[in-house]
Amino acid sequence: MIPAKSSVYLKQLDGLRTLSVAAVAWSHWRAYKNCDPLFPWGELGVETFFIISGFLITGILLDNRRTVSGPFVLRQFYIRRVLRIFPLFYASLIILLILKVDSISETWFWHATYLSNVCFYLHGWHGQLNHFWSLAVEEQFYLFWPLLMIFLPRRFLLPTILVSMAAAPLFELGMAWAFPVQDKGVSAGVLMPSCLDALGIGALLAYGAREKFPMPKITFRLLLAGMAGLTGWGAANFPTPLEPLRRLAEICVLGWLVYSAAEGFRGPLGWLLQSGPMSYLGKISYGLYVIHNFAISMSWGLIAWLGHPSWLEKIYAVPMFRLVGFAGLTIGLAALSWHFFEKPLNNLKYKFPYIIGGKFPSAMGSTPDKEYPLTATK
């Protein structure tokens, strides 16, 4: 059982966010020099974000549906989501429009309406804007999932979660069969229904913890099933259209990882995940994620603005130093954004607690004013 109101274990989830955003950033920064990664770091990072998101968001909704009215919970949930997610995202869009980054002038409406993933599926990737697809998936998930978790009768919750998880690979396989990927090279995996396996397994873990399921046994079996699936996939030569099944095996392993972090790892891994730097970077991970894919162009723009100093260009010519530069710029801007822009607005959520008549929900899991929003994405 997840300990109630434990900042130590929530810090481990923040640390896991840090590793996830690092994996995504690594995949994009390596691609800058057309280096094919030996491991799907970006895929694993995004899947982990989705699982954490499904886990925390579902936990918040389930905790509060037990104690206060559904419409009230829904209103508070959306207000708090808007305060956390919208300011940085729309500020970024405005800056991108001013700077005319990539295809933003032609595609801004898709991004502004959180349909980036649909845009990419229909028209192909758009350079530095590519990572917006996962932000769109999360926002689409936020639009309909609370309605199910708050208003469905209790007996329908578990079947709904399980059906959602099963439908995800079936949807992606069906889309691949009906609409084969052509030259645009973007699969239906970017569409929200295809991501419900990762989001759903997070929801399942949250539900099981609150229903007193034997979670250690369940998550261990997830780990074994995922490892067996990945081993079988590696040993066989399955066709590419069956990729959703491989990712489902990955998601089982990552589900075990997320729940174990929520319970709290012991030893060196636990120390690492809840260490100060990891926890802090996890707290600003939304900004890190939004900004990181622009770090390359910003770095070269900064060098040009400084007059192309030879010493700086020589430093950036070394791959290791170049990565350090990208990371430093991303962390610096995300930290500034958090402290001077995001946090002051995010703190307004305390005016919209999940309470009625001064009483807080008492169910284990999340605390009413201690949400840990994820966009990861996220």
pLDDT in tens, the chain (378 residues): 554 444 556 889 999 999 999 999 999 998 665 555 567 899 999 999 999 999 999 999 999 987 768 889 999 999 999 999 999 999 999 999 999 998 899 999 999 999 999 999 999 998 899 999 999 999 999 999 999 999 999 999 999 999 999 999 999 999 988 888 766 678 899 999 999 999 999 999 999 999 989 999 999 999 999 999 888 887 666 667 788 888 999 999 999 999 999 999 999 999 999 999 999 999 999 999 999 999 999 999 999 998 989 988 888 888 889 999 999 999 999 999 999 999 999 999 999 998 765 454 433 344 433 443 333 333
Predicted confidence at residue 100, as pLDDT, reads 92
- Residue 71, in any domain of the structure: yes
- CB of 42 closer than 8 Å to CB of 34: no
- Residue 132, in any domain of the structure: yes
Predicted confidence at residue 43, as pLDDT, reads 93
Q: Count the Cβ atoms, other than its own, within 10 Å of residue 64.
A: 26
- Residue 361, in any domain of the structure: no
Give, as one character, the DSSP assignment of residue 350: G
Predicted confidence at residue 4, as pLDDT, reads 45
Query: Alpha-carbon distance 74 to 82, whole Å?
Result: 12
Task: Note the helical H segments in 179-294.
Answer: 196-210, 215-235, 243-263, 267-273, 276-283, 285-292
Amino acid 28 reads H
Predicted confidence at residue 121, as pLDDT, reads 94
- Residue 79, in any domain of the structure: yes
Degrees to nearest 5, angle at CA 25 with 95 and 126: 50
Predicted confidence at residue 36, as pLDDT, reads 54
Helices 215-235 and 243-263: crossing angle in degrees, nearest 10, is 150
Range of the domain at 125: 7-294
- Residue 144, in any domain of the structure: yes
- Residue 58, in any domain of the structure: yes
- CB of 47 closer than 8 Å to CB of 310: no
Predicted TM-score (pTM) of this structure = 0.91
Predicted confidence at residue 369, as pLDDT, reads 39
Predicted confidence at residue 367, as pLDDT, reads 42
- CB of 77 closer than 8 Å to CB of 146: yes
Query: Alpha-carbon distance 12 to 69, whole Å?
Result: 31
Number of domains in the chain: 1
- Residue 328, in any domain of the structure: no
Predicted confidence at residue 378, as pLDDT, reads 34
Predicted confidence at residue 260, as pLDDT, reads 95
Predicted confidence at residue 182, as pLDDT, reads 63
- Residue 231, in any domain of the structure: yes
Burial class (CB in 10 A: 0-12, 13-18, 19+), 237: exposed
